[in-house]
């Protein structure tokens, strides 16, 4: 039963509310027996993956992602339900909305070798010059924790740290992020121990659907490190670049205060 | 986004030679990448300026000098700027979001494009995007648009808060091109739309803004930026005011006033300044001086409220500075 417990730890924790919701929706109509079957199938897949893709952070650690899980779930439920076409999840469609079309192959001048340092791991990619850091992280490196919200710098869902500063990965070209230290939500936890901000978001219920949460957490870590937690007003001002459509703001402010107190007290 | 070549400039001369024709310079990219995704801007080549030495924030007895590759967040937090030019620091901190301020260069901030929704929407006519196509905003949704400096061709506002603060303080910029360098007053750098709203400033092909100069002025030390928005943060201005006062107890020795959110370029108000100089601080004075700000204003269907709002914004800023609020 390796996989059930080893769904990438931070990734799972920052989105754990979304997972049961999506899973429930998909699994419940199938009944418990099928659910069990699914989990067994997933474990089988996980245990049998012996040739991880060199560019996949998830595969190389032998861990399957929530996206893989939902994808397989969709395939299996489509197989079990007569005459229901296999469709991609709405989230999947949204993610592909602005991606560089693979059919739109660039000529030699528009593709570049790109070396990135992500969460302490160095990777080399050949990319279209148009590839944003966000798309490189998600589509090429399999780091799905960083979310694509508006894709135009208006929502903050794609926030990552570059050389320690919070930035928007949707407005950053991957080629321009070379030779810099990139940290994503997947890189926050140390040895499976949650970062204090991750822990306080869970403790304070700082989210509802969870989609904005990785961006909120990355922004909150920077907000605390920058010293902008003197008051609720200051926290709100310096977290204004991260929108939450569920309106979890009061709990997010609480989570930041709790984490800031812990981090200042040297507890991490 | 359309395909493009990418390359990094080795030095300023290299940048000037590469940055011509269909090329665009890129520093922070927060405006450019957004507009390239919308296919409003379609450069065939990007020239990355980030390896150039246009950095540093320093002040001597004459002026403040800021390298244009400095990030908005760095300039806003700089103690020299915050102490001697609070209006610059405040204008920056009320701009965009912390993430964008960490990315955007202040040179790029001065060159950011308008937020007019029609400019950003390639399915509607826009003279700024496509000269001669027509203006959708004049008879369209124009609540956010300008009331000063407009023409039959364009009513879009200039979006930069920083530029409003710099224009108020008589800032200059240093421009470097293949033929050499030149200085311009920032206010003169920006052009009124007239019949050519696609031409927003005096920047020539291949030219780069390398440095910003702000003179040391007593009015700069006692200065502030008030911004009125549809939401409390992370929003462009409905109206804004950059104001500086030099006081001899309650007498105004010198003043500076410029406004944003209302003009097709950062809007300096020398006539308001003149109405304040030599007078005693007071709300009545502020109100009568602020009235001069909207002389010649041409409100559109949805933005008539800006005529009153911009006056109140100026008065609020003056009251705050004068300790009367």
- Asked, for residue B201, whether it belongs to a domain, the answer is no
CA torsion angle A97 A103 A104 A110 (round to 10): 110
Question: Which among B1, B3, B102 has the least Cβ separation from residue A166?
Answer: B102
Q: Give the integer Cα–Cα distance in Å for A238 and A229.
A: 8
Are B257 and B273 in contact, with CB atoms under 8 Å apart?
yes
B314 backbone dihedrals φ, ψ, rounded to 5°: -65, -45
DSSP string, A183-230: E-GGGTSBTTBPPHHHHHHHHTT--SS-SSHHHHHHHHHHHHHHT--S
Considering the domain architecture, whether residues A128 and A176 belong to the same structural domain is answered as yes
A37/A118: higher pLDDT? A118
pLDDT at A265 (0 to 100): 73
pLDDT at A65 (0 to 100): 59
User: For residue A245, what is the domain's CATH number?
Assistant: 1.10.150.120
- Asked, for residue B259, whether it belongs to a domain, the answer is yes
Between the alpha carbon of residue B38 and those of residues A241, B28, B31, B97, B160, the distances in Å are 21, 17, 11, 21, 20
Interaxial angle between packed helices A196-203 and A213-226, expressed in degrees from 0 to 180 and rounded to the nearest 10: 120
Interface touch A240/B48, C-beta < 8 Å? no
Q: Whole domain around residue A242: which residue ranges?
A: 196-264
- Asked, for residue A78, whether it belongs to a domain, the answer is yes
Considering the domain architecture, whether residues A140 and A165 belong to the same structural domain is answered as yes
Q: Does the beta carbon of A129 lie under 8 angstroms from any beta carbon of chain B?
A: yes
Q: Give the integer Cα–Cα distance in Å for B84 and A254.
A: 35
Which chain B positions have a beta carbon within 8 Å of A242's beta carbon?
A: 97
- Asked, for residue B139, whether it belongs to a domain, the answer is no
B191/A15: higher pLDDT? B191
Where is the domain boundary, A187, A206, A231? A187
**Does the structure show a pLDDT above 80 at A30?**
no
Are A176 and B8 in contact, with CB atoms under 8 Å apart?
no
Q: Does the beta carbon of A237 lie under 8 angstroms from any beta carbon of chain B?
A: yes
Banded model confidence at residue A264, pLDDT cuts 50, 70, 90: confident
Which chain B positions have a beta carbon within 8 Å of A241's beta carbon?
A: 96-100, 234
Banded model confidence at residue A268, pLDDT cuts 50, 70, 90: very low
**Does the structure show a pLDDT above 60 at A15?**
no
- Asked, for residue A102, whether it belongs to a domain, the answer is no
Q: Does the beta carbon of B99 lie under 8 angstroms from any beta carbon of chain A?
A: yes
Interface touch B98/A241, C-beta < 8 Å? yes
As for how many domains chain B has, the answer is 2
Q: Which residues of B79-117 are buried (b: 16+ CB within 10 A; e: fewer)?
A: eebbebbbbbbbbbbbbbbbbbbbbbbbbbbbbbbbbbb
Question: Which among A110, A168, A240 has the least Cβ separation from residue B103?
Answer: A168
Considering the domain architecture, whether residues A82 and A29 belong to the same structural domain is answered as yes
Question: Which among A129, A151, A241 has the least Cβ separation from residue B99?
Answer: A241
- Asked, for residue B9, whether it belongs to a domain, the answer is yes
Q: What is the interface size between A and B, counted as CB pairs within 8 Å?
A: 88
Considering the domain architecture, whether residues A81 and A123 belong to the same structural domain is answered as no
Which tokens go with B320? 């705050």
Which chain B positions have a beta carbon within 8 Å of A173's beta carbon?
A: 6, 26, 29, 33, 46
Banded model confidence at residue A178, pLDDT cuts 50, 70, 90: very high
Banded model confidence at residue A11, pLDDT cuts 50, 70, 90: very low
Considering the domain architecture, whether residues A131 and A83 belong to the same structural domain is answered as no
Chain B CA closest to residue A131: B1
Chain B CA closest to residue A236: B233
Min distance B190 CA to chain A CA atoms (Å): 26
- Asked, for residue A157, whether it belongs to a domain, the answer is yes
Considering the domain architecture, whether residues A158 and A207 belong to the same structural domain is answered as no
Q: Give the integer Cα–Cα distance in Å for B157 and B149.
A: 9
Interface touch B4/A159, C-beta < 8 Å? no
Considering the domain architecture, whether residues A181 and A200 belong to the same structural domain is answered as no
pLDDT at A66 (0 to 100): 62
Q: Give the integer Cα–Cα distance in Å for B23 and B25.
A: 7
Burial of A24 (C-beta count, 10 Å sphere; 0-12/13-18/19+): exposed
Q: Give the integer Cα–Cα distance in Å for A141 and A132.
A: 12
User: For residue B31, what is the domain's CATH number?
Assistant: 3.30.43.10
- Asked, for residue B298, whether it belongs to a domain, the answer is yes
Considering the domain architecture, whether residues A179 and A205 belong to the same structural domain is answered as no
**Does the structure show a pLDDT above 60 at A111?**
yes
- Asked, for residue A207, whether it belongs to a domain, the answer is yes
Considering the domain architecture, whether residues A8 and A81 belong to the same structural domain is answered as yes
User: For residue B250, what is the domain's CATH number?
Assistant: 3.30.390.50
Interface touch A238/B98, C-beta < 8 Å? yes
- Residue B27, number of CB atoms within 10 A of its CB: 27
Banded model confidence at residue A92, pLDDT cuts 50, 70, 90: very low
Question: Which among B3, B50, B100 has the least Cβ separation from residue A110?
Answer: B3
Considering the domain architecture, whether residues A221 and A246 belong to the same structural domain is answered as yes
Interface touch A156/B232, C-beta < 8 Å? no
- Asked, for residue A93, whether it belongs to a domain, the answer is no
Q: Give the integer Cα–Cα distance in Å for B177 and B193.
A: 24
pLDDT at A35 (0 to 100): 41
Q: Whole domain around residue B43: which residue ranges?
A: 5-48
Q: Give the integer Cα–Cα distance in Å for B263 and A47.
A: 64
Interface touch A109/B5, C-beta < 8 Å? yes
Min distance B267 CA to chain A CA atoms (Å): 26
Q: Are strands B5-8 and B45-48 parallel, antiparallel or unpaired?
A: parallel
Burial of A29 (C-beta count, 10 Å sphere; 0-12/13-18/19+): exposed
Interface touch A159/B29, C-beta < 8 Å? no
Question: Which among B6, B29, B98 has the least Cβ separation from residue A171?
Answer: B29
As for how many domains chain A has, the answer is 3
- Asked, for residue A101, whether it belongs to a domain, the answer is no
Number of helices (H) and strands (E), helices first, in chain A?
Answer: 12, 5
Q: Does the beta carbon of A141 lie under 8 angstroms from any beta carbon of chain B?
A: no
pLDDT at A45 (0 to 100): 39
Beta strands per DSSP E along chain A: 111-118, 121-128, 159-162, 165-168, 181-183
Residues 6+ away with beta carbon under 8 Å from B90: B165, B224, B225
Considering the domain architecture, whether residues A168 and A232 belong to the same structural domain is answered as no
**Residues lower than pLDDT 70 in chain B:** none
How far the first Cα of chain B sits from its last, in Å, is: 49
- Residue A43, number of CB atoms within 10 A of its CB: 16
What is the number of alpha carbons within 13 Å of residue A39 lying toward its C-beta? 14
- Asked, for residue B299, whether it belongs to a domain, the answer is yes
A260, A262, A267, A254: which is closest to A204 by C-alpha? A254
Q: Among residues 7-36 of chain B, which lie with CB inside 8 Å of chain A? A: 26, 29-30, 33-34
Which tokens go with A214? 């990785």
Interface touch A129/B5, C-beta < 8 Å? yes
- A220-237 pLDDT tens trace: 999 999 999 999 999 999
Q: Does the beta carbon of B80 lie under 8 angstroms from any beta carbon of chain A?
A: no
Which chain A positions have a beta carbon within 8 Å of B42's beta carbon?
A: none
Which chain B positions have a beta carbon within 8 Å of A106's beta carbon?
A: 3
**What rounded mean pLDDT belongs to chain A?**
75
State whether the Cα torsion B294-B309-B110-B300 is positive or negative: negative
Q: Does the beta carbon of A238 lie under 8 angstroms from any beta carbon of chain B?
A: yes
- A181-233 pLDDT tens trace: 999 999 999 998 999 999 999 999 999 999 999 999 999 999 999 999 999 99
**Does the structure show a pLDDT above 60 at A87?**
no
- Asked, for residue B293, whether it belongs to a domain, the answer is yes
Q: Give the integer Cα–Cα distance in Å for B184 and B109.
A: 17
Considering the domain architecture, whether residues A200 and A183 belong to the same structural domain is answered as no
């Amino acid at each position: 039963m390796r996989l059930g417990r080893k769904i990438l730890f931070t990734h799972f924790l920052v989105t754990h509310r979304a997972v049961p919701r999506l899973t429930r929706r998909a699994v419940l109509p199938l009944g418990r027996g099928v659910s069990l079957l699914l989990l067994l199938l997933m474990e089988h897949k996980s245990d049998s993956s012996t040739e991880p893709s060199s560019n996949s952070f998830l595969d190389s650690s032998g861990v399957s992602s929530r996206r893989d899980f939902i994808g397989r779930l969709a395939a299996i439920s489509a197989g079990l339900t007569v005459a229901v076409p296999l469709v991609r999840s709405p989230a999947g469609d949204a993610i592909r909305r602005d991606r560089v079309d693979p059919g739109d192959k660039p000529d030699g001048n528009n593709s570049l070798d790109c070396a990135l340092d992500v969460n302490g791991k160095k990777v080399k990619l050949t990319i279209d010059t148009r590839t944003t850091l966000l798309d490189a992280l998600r589509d090429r490196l399999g780091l799905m924790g960083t979310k694509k919200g508006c894709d135009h710098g208006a929502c903050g869902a794609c926030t990552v740290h570059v050389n320690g500063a919070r930035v928007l990965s949707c407005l950053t070209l991957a080629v321009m992020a070379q030779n810099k230290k990139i940290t994503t939500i997947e890189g926050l936890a140390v040895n499976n121990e949650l970062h204090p901000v991750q822990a306080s978001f869970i403790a304070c219920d700082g989210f509802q659907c969870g989609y904005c949460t990785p961006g909120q957490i990355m922004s909150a870590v920077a907000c605390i490190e920058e010293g902008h937690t003197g008051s609720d007003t200051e926290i709100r001002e310096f977290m204004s670049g991260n929108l939450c459509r569920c309106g979890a703001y009061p709990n997010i402010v609480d989570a930041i205060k709790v984490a800031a107190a812990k981090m200042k007290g040297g507890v991490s | 986004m359309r395909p493009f070549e990418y390359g990094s400039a080795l030095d300023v001369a290299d940048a000037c030679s590469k940055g011509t024709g269909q090329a665009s310079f890129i520093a922070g990219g927060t405006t450019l990448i957004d507009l390239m995704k919308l296919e409003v801007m379609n450069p065939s080549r990007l020239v990355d300026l980030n390896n150039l030495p246009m950095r540093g924030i320093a002040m001597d007895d004459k002026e403040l000098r800021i390298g244009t590759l400095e990030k908005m967040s760095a300039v806003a937090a700089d103690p020299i700027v915050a102490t001697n030019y609070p209006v610059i620091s405040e204008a920056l901190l009320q701009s965009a979001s912390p993430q964008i301020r960490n990315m955007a260069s202040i040179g790029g901030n001065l060159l950011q494009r308008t937020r007019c929704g029609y400019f950003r929407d390639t399915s509607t006519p826009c003279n700024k995007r496509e000269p001669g196509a027509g203006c959708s905003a004049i008879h369209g949704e124009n609540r956010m648009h300008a009331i000063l400096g407009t023409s039959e061709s364009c009513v879009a506002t200039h979006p930069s808060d920083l530029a409003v603060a710099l224009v108020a303080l008589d800032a200059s910029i240093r421009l470097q091109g293949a033929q050499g360098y030149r200085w311009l007053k920032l206010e003169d750098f920006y052009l009124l739309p007239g019949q050519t709203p696609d031409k927003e400033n005096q920047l020539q092909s291949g030219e780069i803004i390398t440095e910003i100069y702000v003179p040391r002025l007593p009015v700069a030390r006692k200065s502030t930026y008030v911004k009125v928005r549809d939401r409390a943060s992370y929003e462009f201005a409905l109206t804004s005011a950059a104001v500086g006062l030099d006081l001899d107890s309650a007498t105004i020795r010198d003043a500076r006033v410029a406004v944003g959110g209302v003009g097709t370029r950062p809007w300096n108000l020398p006539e308001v300044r003149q109405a304040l100089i030599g007078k005693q601080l007071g709300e009545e004075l502020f109100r009568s001086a602020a009235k001069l700000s909207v002389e010649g204003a041409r409100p559109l269907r949805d933005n008539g409220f800006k005529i009153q709002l911009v006056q109140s914004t100026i008065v609020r800023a003056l009251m705050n500075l004068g300790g009367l609020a």
